[in-house]
Amino acid sequence: MEGNVKLECVQGDITQQDDLDAIVNAANAELRTGGGVAGAIHRAAGPELEEACRPLAPIKPGEAVISPAFGLPNKKIIHCLGPVFNIDKPSDELLARCFRNALWLADEENLVSVGFPAISTGAFGYPLEEAAEVTADAVHSVISDLDNVTLIRMVLFGDKDLVAFRKAFRMGR
Ligand code: ADP
């Protein structure tokens, strides 16, 4: 707990977080389906998601936009474009902005629980430990601004990802 906000790091699939109001997509600029998280979210949500996203695209690194969740069990999907490591610069600031903007947006929309994947650590090449540190700092920096969000869950796909994020969030194993 940090103030009124519970922080969790779990191993799992971002499309299977039935108890969360919102999940965050590691999106591409066009908000289309793709590999990794974006592919999994679009497959689970169904083709209506791409349709709904079309007028919101393109987005820039660090930006976050929100859509309905369609076939997913959540209320909303927040789409963030992470930086391509060392191409979109400063990569740390752009990655931090994803988390801050997503949490502010969730809060504005009266959502109480939000799940994040490890944005930028897949196809976008951000080294895991560094991304975990930037993410933990960014999340901690906005917690005191949040009026509605009371649960933030990092959903890590792999075992190494879980270890890195638990370390960065100063959680024991
Ligand atoms: P990016 O393009 O922002 O790097 P990716 O989708 O390629 O995004 O990967 C981001 C992270 O999410 C990677 O660590 C990847 O292993 C992980 N990941 C991939 N699929 C899922 C999923 N279904 N649920 C949670 N995490 C996932």
Q: What is the pLDDT of residues 52-80, one digit of tens each?
A: 999 999 999 999 999 999 999 999 999 99
Q: What is the pLDDT of residues 74-128, one digit of tens each?
A: 999 999 999 999 999 999 999 999 999 999 999 999 999 999 999 999 999 999 9
Q: How many domains does the chain have?
A: 1
| Token pair 């679009």: residue | 42
Would the pTM of this model clear 0.75, i.e. be above it?
A: yes
Is 173 among the domain residues?
Answer: no
How far apart are the CA of 36 and the centre of ligand 1, in A?
5
CATH of the domain at 23: 3.40.220.10
Strand ranges (E), 3-144: 6-11, 22-26, 64-68, 76-80, 113-116
Q: Which domain holds residue 87?
A: 6-168
Is 1 among the domain residues?
Answer: no
Cβ < 6 A, ligand 1 pocket = 13-15, 26, 35-38, 40, 82, 117-124, 155, 157-158, 161
C-beta separation of 64 from 78 below 8 A: yes
